Amino acid sequence: MYELIPVGENTFYINGPVKMGIYRLPDDKVILIDSGNGKETGKKVLKIISGQGWTLETVINTHSHADHSGGNRFLYDRTGCKFYTTRLERAFCEFPLLKPSFLYGGFPAQPLRSKFLLAEASPVHDIAAWELPSAMTILPFKGHSFAMIGVKTPDDVYFLGDSLFSAAIIKKYHVIFIYDVGEYLKTLDAIKALEGKIFIPAHADVAENIRPLAALNRQKVWEIMEIIQDICARPSSFEDILKAVFDHYRLTMDFNQYVLAGSTIKSYLSYLLDRQILQAIFQDNKLLWQHK
């Protein structure tokens, strides 16, 4: 765990619970791609970088979720390095209470103000204003989060963030967090079209061929949409739909799963409503969803 693995002349990844990328610049300064889920991860990452005789100069956050930006504050305090992400994700890094607030739809109760959802605030810059190293490319991978990005290094290695999840994670959780279903499906299409040497999802095995995993993630999205449509054969409230999905997959509800899976189910409902597959009905002061 937390092993440094080379995948190109200057490209490496750290094999932890969340795979983080490293790109080495000519002067032995490095760019870190994502910072892990907290202070302890930040310590491990910095130890690996220092052990190679490198200096951490920059961190790219693929998105603002706490397991990808949780190490920011520690790394900033220790090194003064600069952080970059997209403008929308930047807001969540600088004001992390936004994340559990938007998931819950109000001020988040104490169980939602934990390290799992709430990273420490960190100063982050707009990546659009940064001059990238030559031949490094930033790719838009919206859907899982508001404005998530991927990174292609000059060694033809792609870091995919949370655009894909492993078969094991999908089998365990089924309802993988998605903010915008339509954009997520576009991201899967874009990933299927990529050509590269190595693909590194944050929560799946490194692969030379990423298309089968993209297809598996797409299959699960369509499966859940079909389940929701079946549930909505009769008018159903959001709570009824969420419970039915959890019962179908034999999942266990807790506060974190309620907001993460619940937010995702609401995104599916929006997708199906916008495409006129479902209709929204207000009845007895309740919002109900029904298949047309």
In the numeric block, which tokens belong to residue 187?
């991201």
287: β partners: 282
Residue 8: what pLDDT? 98
The beta strand positions in the chain, using DSSP E, are 3-6, 11-15, 20-24, 29-33, 55-60, 82-85, 125-126, 137-140, 149-152, 157-159, 198-200, 278-283, 286-291
In this prediction, the residues of the chain whose per-residue pLDDT falls under 50 are none
Residue 57: what pLDDT? 98
Residue 71: what pLDDT? 98
Query: Rounded to an integer, what distance in angstroms lies between the CA atom of residue 55 and that of residue 215?
Result: 38
Largest CA distance in the chain: 67
In the numeric block, which tokens belong to residue 29?
């300064």
Please tell us whether the domain made up of 225-291 is placed in CATH 1.10.10.
yes
- pLDDT tens, 184-231? 999 999 999 999 999 999 999 999 999 999 999 999 999 999 999 999
Residue 161: what pLDDT? 98
**Which residues of the chain form CATH 3.60.15.10?**
3-162
Residue 1: what pLDDT? 83
**Which residues of the chain form CATH 1.10.10?**
225-291
Residue 22: what pLDDT? 98
CATH topology of domain 3-162: Metallo-beta-lactamase; Chain A (3.60.15)
